[in-house]
Amino acid sequence: MTGYAPPIRRLIKELSRFPGIGEKTATRLATFLLYSSEQDATRLAESIIEVKKKIRFCSICFNLSESDVCEICGDPARDRDVICVVEDPDSLVAIEESGGFRGMYHVLHGVLSPGDGIGPESLRLRELIDRISDNGIKEVILATNPSVQGESTALLITKLLQGKDVRISRIAFGIPIGGDLKYVDRMTMTKAIEFRRGM
Other beta carbons less than 10 A from residue 42's beta carbon? 11
For 145, the enclosing helix (H) or strand (E) is none
pLDDT at position 193, please? 80
Q: What is the pLDDT of residues 128-165, one digit of tens each?
A: 999 999 998 999 999 999 888 999 999 999 999 998 89
Averaged confidence pLDDT in the chain: 91
pLDDT at position 114, please? 85
* Average pLDDT of the segment spanning 55-69: 96
Whole-prediction pTM: 0.82
Burial profile 131-147: b = 16 or more Cβ within 10 angstroms, e = fewer: bbeeeebeebbbbbbee
pLDDT at position 173, please? 79
Alpha carbon of residue 137 to chain centroid: 22
Ordered structural domains, the chain, with CATH: 6-54 (1.10.8.420), 76-167 (3.40.1360.10)
* Average pLDDT of the segment spanning 116-122: 88
pLDDT at position 199, please? 64
Contact between 84 and 103 (Cβ < 8 Å) = yes
Closest CA to 128 of 114, 143, 147: 143
